[in-house]
Structure 1
Amino acid sequence: METVNGKGQILDGHIFIYPADEEELDPHDLLSFMRRNIQYAKDYKHNMQMYLGNHDILHQQRRMYGPDNRLVANLPHYIVDTYNGFFTGIPPKITLDDKNENEALQQWNDTNSFQDKLSEISKQTDIYGRSFAFIYQDESANTCIAYASPTDAFMVYDDTVARKPFAFVRYWKDTESGLWTGMVYYANKIKTFKGSVVEDSDQNNMYNLVPAVEFYGNEERQGVFDNVKTLIDELDRVLSQKANQVEYFDNAYLKILGLDLDEDGDGRPDANLIGNQMIYSPNADAANADVEFISKPDGDNMQEHIIDRLVSMIYQVSMVANLNDEAFAGNSSGVALQYKLLPMRNMAANKERKFTQALRKLYRIVFSADQVVKDKDAWQDLLFDFKQNLPIDISEEADTLQKLSGVVSKETAFRNSRLIDDPKKEVERMQKEKQEEMNQALQHSASATDQMLMDDQKENDKEVVGFRKNGDSDDEEE
């Protein structure tokens, strides 16, 4: 734990804490937190540069002599995109049991492109270790969502055991004054600040909650490649050194010893040979004349070994599978493939639990605006279903659905299938199709219907005839 100037504290993982009995952040504490986050932002930005391929080796001092290749093995990009695609490549299913409320929820998700923004939040979490979702009202008073990077935003929690959000801060540098400017969102108010001056905002917080949620994959707030950054830097160095040696020895040198090629006496060999890529010494022992290319030292096996070791350790420590590895070649069984992906699946399962908790808090804020669903407490009934993006065997999935038929409800069976995005809608589609098939069957079987009508008419005619006969006999008796 670290103490900043004032009442604030900073826990491991750059978690800001403030006393819960305070009404708002003291201006000096606010600036202290912001300065610390600006310092931490250097690490965040460094991670982003590594993801973009702008590694440290590109900025090192140039060599004084010899080749100076700068090669970058951009494994952070591969690791982040592979893991994020594995986690959110199949968008999670977020549903409510109530049909009308679920339709309203899906409409809000689609209107705000929520699944796309959730994927970006997940990617930022993999790069930075954390990300923020921010809820706001637009010009038309519609509830909207945006995501914020930890490079220019941070959350402050209270010092209780529950660690409830105390305030959410967004900041930027004003281009005209050069002062840090931003906004502080509390549960019951919104403040603006410019430098050390804090003022009330003309905006109101209608949610009665801090309108932001922090997303992270682990309590330590580590990115997916934070533990392998030194290995990646070393891999860049080894690859660059190998390229330098290849270039250095690319032009072979020819040595000519003990053989005089100067017949005209000008001190130069008469043969048309390459200029400075030759070692020529005619004064050597002519009896032991030597003409050959100088062999270069062979350290290729050692270099290849350390490269393979570094690449293997990077994937092993980051726990993200190298899908280009030979271990994934061939026709591996489903069980064997699951074991190869087990470390990544374990990490994704932990991230899923953290995201589920954060999403429930997020929808609590959204529903509190009383615009999406009528029941403000519906966030407690939300169902979250994350599907890890694994290769789909359609035949196996269909066989599983068939085996589950009659054992569990259709919605439960569909919820466990990666072929179906929305189980509720799929059940409704099946019921609608079944009703349409019944209607079509009745329309196309008019002959059978007519036959039934004709049979009924014949029965009625018989009853009428019988009634008349009985009536005639009664009249005759009278």
Structure 2
Amino acid sequence: MSPETELTEEKLGEWLRRHKEDCKRMRYLKDLYEGRHPIQLMPKKDAWKPDNRIICNHAKYIVDRFNGFFLGIPVKTMHPDAEVAAELEEIQRYNDQDDNNAELSKYCSIYGSGFELLYTDEDAHICITYLSPLECFMIYDDSVARKPLYGVRYYKNSDKETVGSVFTASEIVPFSDKDGLHFGDPVPHYFGGVPLIEYIENEERQGAFEQVESAITGYEKAISEKANDVDYFADAYLLLVGVALDQDDLHFMHSNRVIHVSGLDADQLNAVKVEFLQRPSADATQENLLNRLEDQIFTQSMVANISDEDFGGSSGTALAYKLQPMRDLAASKARKFSSGMNRRWKLIASSPASRMPADAWKDIRYRFTENLPKNLLEEVQTAAQMAGITSRETQLSVISAVDDPQSELEKIAAENGTEPDDALRAERSTEVTADAG
């Protein structure tokens, strides 16, 4: 909306209606993630027909697998100023920020977006918490900058009334729909902007499995029908032709799994026919369909199927190609996530409760580390082969067990009784001598 337009009760009511409409889509995605799938709501079949409803929760697999890859190793927040770095660490530890980031990232993968709220508690500590997009939305201005004008959070209280808050750049304005939608008295929040922050999975705000929803439901329908066919086979009817049997004979045969026909001559015996009635089998067609749907789910979602039997036996190069789509997806999400975190720290630095300079957020850097199984032996061998080609710092950066190559060089120098700079100069001198030779 235009920044010159006032957010009245009528305007807020319109935005609330629009958000509740979008919540229908998000609740459906939530149901898929939590295992409440459309196949459970299909009309029941006749009592004598098998009616399997098998849930294969690819939605949960995609979200949990991708976020384990993306934030299984927590994002590292760094700053060149030691005092600012210490303040960042203290705020994150106070708020269990690694867990907050993980839950926020999961919301983004389920719904396409997630929200973070900043506030100050009774001890004057800056607090950070994550919120579901089912209860929050942002209102941006209509310029190309799309600056946040208002953040809105609302919910139903114990009296079934809609209550909530509008967050402006300077105030928190409560509202309620009791006796008609109306605002309450505003209170200041002391952050330098709207303290509700939206994080997005992608620019389209689509969840990680939203594009493959139809393939997931199709897969469950196909595998359920396959289970029905197995039940049909187990309950197949026995056809007896040319044999007169009473109920006692049939009961005996059913109980003892024995078919005994007596008192027939040779011609009558040749006319006897005993077989099971079976439906035509489409097992090969069903298997092809299931395999095609499963491939489609993981290909379109760009999340690797780690449980694939061929995955673990792949070579390093083949494994890299299989993981490349998920790496691309994670890199794109890291850029969106970094944008949200920049706004988080910018707002925190603007608060009087923060000990950071107001512009300290500009120098904050983030390190996202892919959570992959590591082959330490292979990494060490690769690092050893880089000797004389790259610097020692670059060599050490190849080894995943070394978190900080520069710090590791300082430890090596201390053990050898030299300064890190002396070690590096000696290394460069050796390289120059070798080149001259």
Q: Is the 8 A contact 1:397 1:419 kept in 2?
A: no
Which among 217, 240, 262 is matched to residue 224 of structure 2? 240
Counterpart check, 1:288 vs 2:268: no
Structure 1 residue 334: Cα displacement: 2.1
Counterpart check, 1:375 vs 2:360: no
| Percentage identity across paired residues of the two chains | 36
Counterpart check, 1:361 vs 2:346: no
Measure, in 1, the Cα distance between the counterparts of 2:27 and 2:102.
19
Larger radius of gyration: 1
Residues 270 and 162 (structure 1 numbering): CA distance in 2 closer, same or farther, change over 3 Å? closer
**What pairs up with 1:117-156 in 2 under 5 angstroms?**
117-156=100-139
Residues 140 and 429 (structure 1 numbering): CA distance in 2 closer, same or farther, change over 3 Å? farther
Structure 1 residue 336: Cα displacement: 1.7
Structure 1 residue 430: Cα displacement: 6.1
Counterpart check, 1:158 vs 2:138: no
Which among 184, 194, 211 is matched to residue 227 of structure 1? 211
Residues 163 and 279 (structure 1 numbering): CA distance in 2 closer, same or farther, change over 3 Å? farther
Counterpart check, 1:254 vs 2:234: no
| Residue of structure 2 equivalent to 1:216 | 200
Structure 1 residue 405: Cα displacement: 8.9
| Residue of structure 1 equivalent to 2:306 | 323
Greater shift in the superposed pair: 104-113 or 375-384: 104-113
Structure 1 residue 41: Cα displacement: 1.2
1:326-367 CA-to-partner distances (Å, cap 9, x unmatched) read: 33131x332221111111111111111111111111110111
Greater shift in the superposed pair: 315-324 or 294-303: 294-303
Structure 1 residue 372: Cα displacement: 4.0
| Residue of structure 1 equivalent to 2:433 | none
| Residue of structure 2 equivalent to 1:465 | none
Structure 1 residue 213: Cα displacement: 1.5
Counterpart check, 1:92 vs 2:70: no
| Residue of structure 1 equivalent to 2:254 | 274
Q: Is the 8 A contact 1:108 1:372 kept in 2?
A: no
| Residue of structure 1 equivalent to 2:427 | none
Residue identity in the other structure for 1:256? L
Counterpart check, 1:199 vs 2:184: yes
Which among 324, 327, 340 is matched to residue 345 of structure 1? 327
| Residue of structure 1 equivalent to 2:96 | 113
Q: Is the 8 A contact 1:258 1:289 kept in 2?
A: yes
SS at match of 1:273: helix
Q: Is the 8 A contact 1:80 1:123 kept in 2?
A: yes
* TM norm structure 1: 0.78
Residues 404 and 145 (structure 1 numbering): CA distance in 2 closer, same or farther, change over 3 Å? farther
Measure, in 2, the Cα distance between the counterparts of 1:197 and 1:417.
59
Residues 140 and 295 (structure 1 numbering): CA distance in 2 closer, same or farther, change over 3 Å? same
1:313-332 CA-to-partner distances (Å, cap 9, x unmatched) read: 111111111111133131x3
Measure, in 2, the Cα distance between the counterparts of 1:405 and 1:104.
40
1:30-72 CA-to-partner distances (Å, cap 9, x unmatched) read: 1111121112112111111111111111122211241211111
Residues 271 and 428 (structure 1 numbering): CA distance in 2 closer, same or farther, change over 3 Å? closer
| Residue of structure 1 equivalent to 2:15 | 33
Structure 1 residue 407: Cα displacement: 4.5
Measure, in 2, the Cα distance between the counterparts of 1:392 and 1:328.
15
Residues 171 and 383 (structure 1 numbering): CA distance in 2 closer, same or farther, change over 3 Å? same
Counterpart check, 1:311 vs 2:291: no
1:219-245 CA-to-partner distances (Å, cap 9, x unmatched) read: 000000001111111111111111122
Measure, in 2, the Cα distance between the counterparts of 1:405 and 1:48.
54
Q: Is the 8 A contact 1:75 1:232 kept in 2?
A: yes
SS at match of 1:369: coil
Structure 1 residue 417: Cα displacement: 5.4
* TM norm structure 2: 0.85
Residues 418 and 162 (structure 1 numbering): CA distance in 2 closer, same or farther, change over 3 Å? farther
Q: Is the 8 A contact 2:298 2:305 kept in 1?
A: yes
Measure, in 2, the Cα distance between the counterparts of 1:175 and 1:420.
52
Q: Is the 8 A contact 2:191 2:350 kept in 1?
A: yes
Measure, in 2, the Cα distance between the counterparts of 1:333 and 1:365.
46
Q: Is the 8 A contact 1:257 1:280 kept in 2?
A: no
Measure, in 2, the Cα distance between the counterparts of 1:376 and 1:409.
37
Residue identity in the other structure for 1:349? A
Structure 1 residue 149: Cα displacement: 0.6
Which among 325, 336, 339 is matched to residue 318 of structure 2? 336
Q: Is the 8 A contact 1:261 1:271 kept in 2?
A: no
1:241-276 CA-to-partner distances (Å, cap 9, x unmatched) read: 1112211220343222113457xxxx864882128x
Greater shift in the superposed pair: 285-294 or 378-387: 285-294
Measure, in 1, the Cα distance between the counterparts of 2:248 and 2:417.
102
Which among 179, 186, 192 is matched to residue 168 of structure 2? 186
Listed as ranges, the gaps of 5+ residues in structure 2 are 419-437
Residues 200 and 433 (structure 1 numbering): CA distance in 2 closer, same or farther, change over 3 Å? farther
Counterpart check, 1:385 vs 2:372: no
Residue identity in the other structure for 2:305? N
Residue identity in the other structure for 1:314? I
Q: Is the 8 A contact 1:105 1:373 kept in 2?
A: no
Structure 1 residue 428: Cα displacement: 4.9
Residue identity in the other structure for 1:272? F
